[in-house]
Structure 1
């Protein structure tokens, strides 16, 4: 019972860290829990995806699909406080130019957004909106399911980085110091099991989606490994901002991979 209660606490810690959702006061907090709760990142992603899909579905009854997609993305950004988007913008600023490792780390610590960050955000949000709109036009059910799956799967990518790569910043001054420690294999396996379960539910709903899901698994995994290789080459590992950037890249790649094969299963 104590172990189960601890797992519930870890889930709420992950939910509190990545969203604006309030959590019960009895949950409490200990710094070590922030690293332990990484196993629930994909679960929180599922909830964020469900919220975004619900807004998308409701808005599509009132406005054109393009407006509904914009409202859905805005809703997910509001729910998460733009947490991952901020990491993407900072990563673009730090690694967009040809600067040294030390200079890149310094730039990413700056709260101000630069030209690379602004352009990166515009391109990221625009491409995600366009891909989601095209998926909705091809198959509304697939579009909603893809939104949930992409949010879930993309949050497994940072867990992989935390388990397979080293922290590149100053661990003593990290914004979320426990995230600078390596995630255990059990943490990664739990997130992987959750994503497999979600994939199974989607395949059970419509077996025609299986080719697209397989493509999304491959594309998402390849994007994660590519980000890991790039970050290790440029920084020697990852920072907190890079975890957010990786989530954004993988989410976009998943949507694009599903869209590329949409003619196969619609």
Structure 2
């Protein structure tokens, strides 16, 4: 199994997806009513897809996962370009910080980052900070589930694709516990591979502090879980199989 998707709630998937496609230079996979998918190449073989799915109303739950864009010496120039695409400056209480906080075309917060040595080789998407009640525990959970490996960074624990390229998954101390019933506006999806047993994976998630969820979303081809800190995730079936 491997980390395949960022699932992102959207009122207008095409509009939001096109914004992020322009922001990151990704490639369209799916452009259909209700869903827009675009692919971020990591190393020529590995990838991370951004999947924008329509929701009926804005999801105002706290963003426990967000996107940090590579900025560095071009930080101001990149921020200006993103404003030109429809982003706006956002105050989330960040105070005086070296990064720039913006809102995308639906108001979702993201950051354009300053220079950091840890961002070498990330490409345009530098990091995915994820709120965690216990970064040590959750790093072990996500390393097992995603196949990503420990990497040096600023966060207490950080994972990265084994190629050493692509964005960092940063396990960051949560400012507040996950709110019961509040769905994360952005979540991670893991794809099973041939030979992976879905029930064994579900048991492994539970053994490591996660749990399966059974939302009233109708029949789904994937299974929904939470990590040990309550963050939703989906386990997708192996390509071409159940």
**Larger Cα Rg: Structure 1 or Structure 2?**
1
Same-fold status (TM-score > 0.5): no
TM-score by length of 2: 0.25
Higher strand share: 2
Higher helix share: 1
